[in-house]
């Protein structure tokens, strides 16, 4: 109940600000005067997995590493920190021993209860969480969240996949059926079916963010079933991309650029562009600007990007995807435009209705579009 | 007296040797080993903050270590601590959610009980499979870990899921009033007390009771135990049950003192780290306490190494690995160092 009310509140705020799209300012918080006094901006980054996983954690590590260009920033980081009391201790350690002024604990599971607990204890430190879970009515003012509409590049990747697939069967290996994952699957499939309405996407949920054995098994079984473009949403796409390459089929990357893992079959992929996000934050702290509690954006705002096309991609596919990229960049592209049916035949978005990227309704997505083969139930 | 001295001296010597080997490793990777060792000490035990950091990490290790240590005493290599912890945590949450309105004391007691019974039965299955069907307990306990994790995923993503937890699927909350708080003014949660009490209680059980003696007899020579009429099957089941129950408490604490809900973070490797602790402690419940603190300290110092020296997290894993191998290798020294042996005079 309270959640509904809350969503309505957020939707209203987001609507009024969606003209700009990015950096929706909600509340905002200032910087303690002590910060201005210290010479360097001290930032701490925490990852749930290894820095070099070719995936989610690496994308954040690359973002953090880009800060080394700025000599007035001191950034420290820690990898393989579980979503338990250990992340609480890591945050406290960064605050107490490294004097971190702003922390970026990047895993979803860090937020509740860990970040919320530490944030209450250290009101002068800013906690920015990747994932967009912050809400003004429930959470402390020194907490914020940032996230990107990565389903936009996945939509474009779907367009490319639609052009390149000969069998008309695409494969999606995903961790667990949560809204964020389903949105990527849906956008990817909508992109592909906009090219060829007969295309289907096979989905396998592995049940966890890092299950390399299951990922490899699923990739192989999909290749056996005639899937000829494979993509994924797991913490590290490495196994899926490598397996696709070994089986001689195309692959679409996720999180970071995986072209090196599949020089022959890599088409393109959806990437985060955290270096921009993190240097923007650093700049805000340096100049003493208020940090918005909620930052979101897509291709247009530069928070996500499309991986450079692999050499297998045809000129026609490139031209089509580029044309739509242009529409994303000028803001005229709407992915979720009715009529859209889910894969049980129910109309979820009626004709004439459309949901723009910033619409909060899309963030509780529990369905998969027509053409997706699979179910969100176990 | 000599025996106690020997069982202290050998592990300490092994520890020192591992630190030397680790320093060589550091030296080869071009880092000043003394700086690194100093940082490990500072990060683990150098201040009250570090101590709290260490102790809070060691609490679950004490409990999951018992899940390997107890069955090992009876001759079973059980690695099912991870699964037992998950099972205990999930079913305790189920109980906690369904009676969350009652008084916190009842809720927490019921949760602990539920966690102990379900996790105890879980590892009890390992013992039963071994005793009745002669299934290799190491393999069965490993496979049961996967089953436990799968059951948890199903429950947390399905029937137990709080629909408000959109992108980090979790069960409903057990209620803030029912959470186990911190010890005094520290930031160490009550789980540490559970760990210490259970370790000491099981040490007493193993050392001063007929039960403990019988278990050691079976572990020493199962044929001899059978011939002398010990109820081997029953004792295997009970020992496995106790081991599982200890790991189950770790799961309960993870929910009741840390997360407040059951979610996929219940499966974060404490069960596997516990195996290491049990072996280093030579399956002695009392020795588990200092070993768990040592390992907790090494884990606590990982952050400082990563941030201070740009070393990867694997550095502390390497240190753990070196300690593990050296201590296991030092086992053969027992009874071989002459001046450590009691002077044997002609007994009967």
Mean of the pLDDT values across residues B95-119? 95
Kindly state whether residue B200 falls inside one of the protein's structural domains.
Answer: yes
pLDDT in tens, B202-238: 999 999 999 999 999 999 999 999 999 999 999 999 9
- Site of tokens 């020579």: B221
Of A78, A85, A180, the CB nearest to B306: A78
Domain assignment of residue B255, given as a range: 63-285
B265 touches chain A (CB under 8 A): yes
Cα–Cα distance measured from residue A34 to residue A28, given in angstroms and rounded to the nearest whole number: 18
Q: Is B166 on the interface with A (CB under 8 A)?
A: yes
Q: Look at residue B172 and tell me if it is in a domain.
A: yes
* A89·B154 Cβ contact <8 A: no
Task: Provide the β-strand partners of residue A170.
Answer: A201, A229
A89:B167 CB<8 A = no
Name every chain B residue with its beta carbon within 8 A of the beta carbon of A108: 167-168
State the average pLDDT for chain B.
Answer: 92
DSSP string, B69-99: HHHHHTT-----HHHHHHHHHHHHHHHHHHT
CATH superfamily assigned to domain A2-149+273-297: Response regulator (3.40.50.2300)
Q: Which of residues 283-322 of B touch A (CB under 8 A)?
A: 299-300, 302-304, 306-307, 312-313
Q: What is the pLDDT of residue A26?
A: 35
CB A310 within 8 A of CB A252: no
Q: How confident is the model at residue B344 (pLDDT cuts 50, 70, 90)?
A: low
Task: Measure the CA–CA gap between B305 and B316, rounded to whole angstroms.
Answer: 8
Q: What is residue A72's predicted lDDT score, i.e. its pLDDT? A: 92
Record: contact B303-A80, CB cut-off 8 A: no
Task: Please count the structural domains in chain B.
Answer: 1
Residues in chain A: 378
| CB-CB neighbors (< 8 A) of B302 in chain A | 78, 80
Q: Chain A residues with CB inside 8 Å of B152's CB?
A: none
Which chain A residues have a beta carbon less than 8 Å from that of B252? Answer: none
* Residue A10 CB partners (closer than 8 Å, separation 6+): A135, A136, A360
What is the percentage of chain B residues whose pLDDT exceeds 90?
Answer: 71
Residue B136 lies in a domain: yes
Whether chain B has a CB inside 8 Å of the CB on A364: the answer is yes
> Is B169 in CB contact (< 8 Å) with chain A?
yes
Asked if A177 and B157 come within 8 Å (Cβ–Cβ), the reply is yes
Domain boundaries for CATH 3.40.50.2300 within chain A: 2-149+273-297, 151-271+307-373
Sign of torsion over alpha carbons B67, B69, B70, B76: positive
**Residue B48, in any domain of the structure:** no
Q: Look at strands A200-205 and A229-233 and give their pairing.
A: unpaired
Question: For residue A252, what is the enclosing H or E element?
Answer: strand A250-255
- Residue B281 belongs to some domain of the structure: yes
Low-confidence ranges of chain A (pLDDT < 70): 1-38, 132, 378
- How close does chain B come to A92, measured CA to CA in Å? 9
Mean pLDDT of B109-113: 97
Q: How far apart are the first and last CA of chain B?
A: 21
pLDDT digits (tens, 9 = 90+) for B166-204: 778 899 999 989 999 888 888 899 999 999 999 999 999
Contact A93 B299 (CB under 8 A): no
Which of A3, A50, A179 is closest, CB to CB, to B167?
A179
Distance CA B199, CA B188 (A): 18
Is A103:A94 a contact under the CB 8 Å cutoff? yes
Is A239 in contact with A212 (CB distance < 8 Å)? yes
Tens of pLDDT, residues B28-66: 888 888 899 999 999 899 999 999 999 999 999 999 999
Q: Which pLDDT tens digit goes with each residue over B253-310?
A: 999 999 999 998 898 899 999 999 999 898 999 999 999 999 999 999 998 889 888 8
Q: For position A10, what pLDDT does the model report?
A: 45
Contacts of B187 in chain A (CB under 8 A): 88, 92
- As a whole number of angstroms, the distance between CA A45 and CA B241 comes to 41
For residue A4, the chain B residue with the least C-alpha distance is: B164
Q: Looking at the predicted complex, does its ipTM rise above 0.90?
A: no
CA-closest candidate to residue A257, choices A241, A271, A243, A276: A271
pLDDT for the residue numbered A38: 53
In this structure, the number of other CB atoms found within 10 A of the CB of residue A28 comes to 13
Q: Say which CATH class A151-271+307-373 falls into.
A: alpha beta
Is B321 within the bounds of a domain?
Answer: no
Q: pTM for the whole thing?
A: 0.84
Structure token digits, residue A374 = 């699979």
């Amino acid at each position: 109940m309270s959640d509904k009310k809350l969503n309505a509140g957020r939707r209203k705020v987001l609507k009024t600000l969606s003209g700009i799209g990015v950096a929706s300012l909600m509340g905002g918080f200032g910087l303690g005067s002590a910060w201005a006094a210290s010479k360097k901006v001290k930032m701490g980054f925490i990852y749930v997995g290894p820095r070099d996983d070719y995936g989610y954690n690496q994308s954040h590590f690359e973002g953090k590493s880009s800060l080394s260009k700025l000599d007035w920033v001191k950034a420290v980081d820690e990898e393989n920190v579980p979503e338990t009391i250990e992340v609480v201790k890591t945050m406290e350690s960064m605050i107490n021993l490294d004097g971190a002024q702003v922390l970026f604990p990047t895993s979803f599971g860090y937020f509740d209860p860990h970040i919320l607990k530490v944030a209450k204890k250290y009101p002068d430190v800013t906690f920015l969480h990747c994932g967009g879970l912050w809400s003004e009515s429930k959470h402390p003012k020194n907490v914020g969240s940032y996230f990107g509409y990565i389903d936009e590049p996945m939509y474009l990747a779907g367009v490319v996949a639609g052009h390149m697939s000969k069998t008309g069967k695409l494969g999606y290996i995903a961790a667990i059926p949560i809204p964020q994952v389903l949105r990527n699957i849906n956008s990817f499939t909508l992109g592909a079916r906009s090219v060829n309405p007969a295309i289907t996407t096979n989905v396998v949920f592995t049940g966890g963010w890092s299950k390399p054995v299951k990922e490899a098994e699923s990739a192989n079984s999909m290749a056996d079933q005639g899937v000829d473009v494979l993509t994924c949403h797991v913490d590290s796409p490495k196994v899926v991309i490598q397996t696709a390459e070994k089986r001689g089929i195309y692959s679409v990357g996720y999180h970071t650029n995986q072209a090196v893992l599949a020089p022959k079959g890599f088409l393109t992929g959806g990437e985060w562009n955290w270096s921009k996000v993190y240097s923007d934050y650093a700049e805000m702290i340096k100049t003493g600007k208020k940090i918005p509690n909620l930052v979101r954006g897509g291709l247009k705002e530069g928070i996500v990007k499309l991986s450079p096309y692999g050499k297998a991609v045809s000129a026609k596919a490139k031209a089509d995807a580029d044309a739509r990229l242009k529409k994303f960049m000028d803001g005229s592209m709407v992915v979720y435009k009715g009529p859209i049916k889910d894969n049980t035949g129910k109309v979820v978005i009626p004709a004439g209705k459309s949901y723009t990227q910033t619409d909060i309704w899309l963030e509780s997505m529990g369905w998969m579009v027509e053409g997706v083969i699979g179910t969100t139930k176990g | 007296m000599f025996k106690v001295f020997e069982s202290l001296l050998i592990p300490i010597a092994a520890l020192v040797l591992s630190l030397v080997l680790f320093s060589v490793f550091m030296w080869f990777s071009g880092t000043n080993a003394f700086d690194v060792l100093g940082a490990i000490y500072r990060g683990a035990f150098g201040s009250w903050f570090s101590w709290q950091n260490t102790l809070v990490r060691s609490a679950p290790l004490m409990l999951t270590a018992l899940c390997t240590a107890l069955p090992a005493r009876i001759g079973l290599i059980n690695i099912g601590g991870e699964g037992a912890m998950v099972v205990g945590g999930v079913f305790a949450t189920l109980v906690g959610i369904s009676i969350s309105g009652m008084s916190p004391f009842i809720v927490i007691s019921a949760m602990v009980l539920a966690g102990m019974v379900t996790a105890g039965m879980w590892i009890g299955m390992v013992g039963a499979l071994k005793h009745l069907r002669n299934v290799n307990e190491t393999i069965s306990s490993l496979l049961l870990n996967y089953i436990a994790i799968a059951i948890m995923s199903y429950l947390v993503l399905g029937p137990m899921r709080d629909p408000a937890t959109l992108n980090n699927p979790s069960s409903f909350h057990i209620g803030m009033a029912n959470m186990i708080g911190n010890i005094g003014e520290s930031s160490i949660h009550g789980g540490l007390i559970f760990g210490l009490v259970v370790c000491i209680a099981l040490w007493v059980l193993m050392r001063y009771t007929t039960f403990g003696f019988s278990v050691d007899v079976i572990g020493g020579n199962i044929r001899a135990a059978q011939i002398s009429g010990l109820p081997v099957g029953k004792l295997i089941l009970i020992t496995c049950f106790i081991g599982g129950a200890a790991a189950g408490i770790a799961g309960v604490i993870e929910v009741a003192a840390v997360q407040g809900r059951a979610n996929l973070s219940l499966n974060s490797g404490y069960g596997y780290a516990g195996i290491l602790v049990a072996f280093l402690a030579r399956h002695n419940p009392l020795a588990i306490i200092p070993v768990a603190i040592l390992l907790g300290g090494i884990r606590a110092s990982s952050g400082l190494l990563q941030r201070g020296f740009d070393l990867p997290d694997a550095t502390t894993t390497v240190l753990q690995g070196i300690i593990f191998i050296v201590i296991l290798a030092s086992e053969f020294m027992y009874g071989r160092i002459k001046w450590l042996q009691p002077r044997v005079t002609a007994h009967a």
